[in-house]
Copies of this chain bind each other. A is one copy, B any other.
């Protein structure tokens, strides 16, 4: 099955203790697509300015990402500039220039409208709702969000919750959205407003998936060198949704496997700047790390 992603396509300039990159491919939809395309075909909807290095995106097309929903508008592309300090735990935003992204109104091309798996990347919840009005009965709709929308578009975001099957968000966002410091209670709060499944990403501390009255936990794969954490959450979402779309199986057992694939894809992207590592790896690398993940958590004969 194909997965449709709507989100940002940006140019990122990032400094880490290990180096810097300028105007590298970035944005939630870019990371998502680069990750998901390892598992299943991807349809991308977004906007860039006429300054965007479109040739650099061709590598995504070669990987099965359909860019016919990527609008090129007059003006500057969305640019983000950030810095990570030694502990790599949180980005410090130095500059955000929305450019053409500030007027983004997603238009879903006719040939994308029947996508069965839809991921609403982190954009204005009003636009996320608009996207849903343009697609035909998807089998699974998932969304992401961020602190900015939780503050500025709270009512719209809560309306969106009633329309999605699944939400991915990080622990700080879950706490901010729900007012609950405890993540179990935060997940319950969110599920009471719509989503049957809540995935709470904790960065280097792994991810919880709450589904019905069950909870699943997957650690982040422990790496001995993390190079650039940018895009880890979107690559997680890409691996998760890509695996679900590929297998087209929404059982709890398969959702758990999808979390592992998300975690594995997130562990690759942080090994290099931008989507570099996602373009280098192949199915063997993914299979090997999934097997390592299994060894990381396995305990036999517990009881």
Contact = CB atoms under 8 A, between A and B. Distances in A.
Tell me the number of copies of this protein.
2
A300 B298 CA distance: 11
A296 B216 contact: yes
Given A295-B214, A297-B297, A224 B184 contact: yes
Contacts of A214: 295
Interface string A149-171: 00000000000000000000000
A110 interface: no
A191 to B, nearest CB: 13
A291 interface: yes
A302 B301 CA distance: 18
A222 B215 contact: yes
Given A183-B222, A206-B219, A217-B222, A294 B303 contact: yes
A226 interface: yes
Interface residues of A, number: 42
Chain A's interface: helix, strand, loop or mixed, by majority? mixed
B222 A219 contact: no
A299 to B, nearest CB: 5
Contact of A219 (B86, B217, B287): B217
Contacts of A116: none
A202 to B, nearest CB: 7
Nearest to A183: B222
Contact of A181 (B87, B185, B222, B253): B87
Nearest to A203: B205
Interface in A1-55: none
A111 interface: no
A240 interface: no
Given A206-B206, A217-B296, A219-B217, A225 B303 contact: no
A291 B302 CA distance: 8
Nearest to A89: B181
A183 B226 CA distance: 11
Contacts of A183: 222
Interface string A71-103: 000000000000000111000000000000000
B184 A208 contact: no
| A-B pairs with lowest CB-CB distance, top 8 | A184-B224, A205-B205, A217-B219, A256-B299, A294-B302, A87-B181, A184-B222, A297-B297
21 contacts: A182-B223, A184-B224, A188-B224, A202-B205, A206-B206, A206-B217, A208-B222, A215-B222, A216-B297, A216-B299, A217-B222, A219-B219, A253-B299, A253-B300, A253-B301, A256-B298, A257-B299, A290-B302, A290-B303, A293-B302, A294-B302
